[in-house]
Homo-oligomer: A and B are copies of this chain.
């Protein structure tokens, strides 16, 4: 067959996605499937997460940002599990009015992140849909055999750490939805960019693997995600609200309206790492985090009991309307 016999979908793959499939096992996306082997002594970590237009992003967001958000929400889970990215599959549902410009932007976003995170494309599927844009990514990473860092292994006495800052993304979403806080351009842009584009903490994965007792990523809100970790670990978590790291921009919002504090601590889309570190590992964890140029903050401790408790400076408990984001 000549090149003309290529179907529209094959042409689309060859043009936009083939260049991102840089691993030999991806066969340049010219086959039905790809192959991969984890490094010697390692096993594979598997994760899938999807994002939908109008739910997880705004339809008018740049196509490159949509691609990067879809990949990064998955990379964030690999980081939290102490895994190194190996590659990903992407499944894309596109409305009829999505054309080459959008696809080109989408592919360029993916290509950039595949290179940045050393996570090449291994395959995908592109279908038309009468609904909104949906991007489902499945990622796979590697960890030394038996060492994936779990949620369920926190122990009383461990300290609770989070990376970066909490609450920016949900405040950024608030701005997108019309919140009228008085903020300088820099603060406004910070919050908006944190909603638009997660910054997964893959640089910290090795430190998590080496020093954390339990770990997960913060995607549905710190309060609810910590409650999940505490529940499956069969422990309690005592958090000092004042120690939860907030960006200057988030602090500026909360200074204007204290009622935004609880939503910031229970809103979604942070994509930070929440992990517990045994006391004996804390110094080395901090040194490794510094070497990885990733801010980590000690926000509380694990105790016997159950529940995630957020205490104000006066000892009272912070009340949450919702512990976390849930679709159901």
Note all chain B residues with C-beta closer than 8 A to A87.
Answer: 46
Count of chain copies: 2
A209 on interface, CB distance cutoff 8 Å: no
A210 on interface, CB distance cutoff 8 Å: no
One of B31, B44, B145, B327 near A44 (C-beta < 8 A): B44
Compute how far the CA of A33 lies from the CA of B143 in the bound complex, rounded to whole angstroms: 12
Note all chain B residues with C-beta closer than 8 A to A182.
Answer: none
- Cβ contacts A139-150/B at 8 Å (1 or 0 each): 010010100101
Compute how far the CA of A5 lies from the CA of B89 in the bound complex, rounded to whole angstroms: 33
A105 on interface, CB distance cutoff 8 Å: no
Stretch from A109-117, A199-207, A220-228, A295-303 forming part of the interface with B: A220-228
- Cβ contacts A29-45/B at 8 Å (1 or 0 each): 01111111110001111
Note all chain B residues with C-beta closer than 8 A to A124.
Answer: 48
Given A1-B227, A7-B324, A31-B151: A131 touches B129 (CB 8 Å cut-off):
yes
Q: Is B46 within 8 A of A122, CB to CB?
A: yes
Stretch from A61-69, A77-85, A253-261, A277-285 forming part of the interface with B: A77-85
A8 on interface, CB distance cutoff 8 Å: yes
Given A38-B38, A123-B46, A224-B7: A128 touches B328 (CB 8 Å cut-off):
yes
Note all chain B residues with C-beta closer than 8 A to A224.
Answer: 7
One of B35, B138, B328 near A48 (C-beta < 8 A): B138
Stretch from A50-58, A154-162, A190-198, A242-250 forming part of the interface with B: A50-58
One of B36, B48, B140 near A125 (C-beta < 8 A): B48
Q: Is B46 within 8 A of A33, CB to CB?
A: yes
Chain B: which residue is nearest A36 at the CB level? B44
Compute how far the CA of A228 lies from the CA of B27 in the bound complex, rounded to whole angstroms: 14
Q: Is A31 within 8 A of B152, CB to CB?
A: yes
Q: Is B129 within 8 A of A35, CB to CB?
A: no
One of B78, B129, B308, B326 near A1 (C-beta < 8 A): B308
Note all chain B residues with C-beta closer than 8 A to A9.
Answer: 326-328
Compute how far the CA of A25 lies from the CA of B150 in the bound complex, rounded to whole angstroms: 11
Q: Is A77 within 8 A of B33, CB to CB?
A: yes
27 examples of A-B residue contacts, CB within 8 angstroms: A1-B227, A1-B230, A12-B328, A31-B150, A31-B151, A31-B216, A32-B47, A33-B83, A34-B46, A35-B148, A37-B145, A44-B44, A46-B89, A46-B123, A46-B140, A48-B90, A48-B91, A48-B124, A50-B91, A50-B127, A55-B129, A56-B127, A89-B138, A93-B131, A125-B136, A126-B328, A131-B132
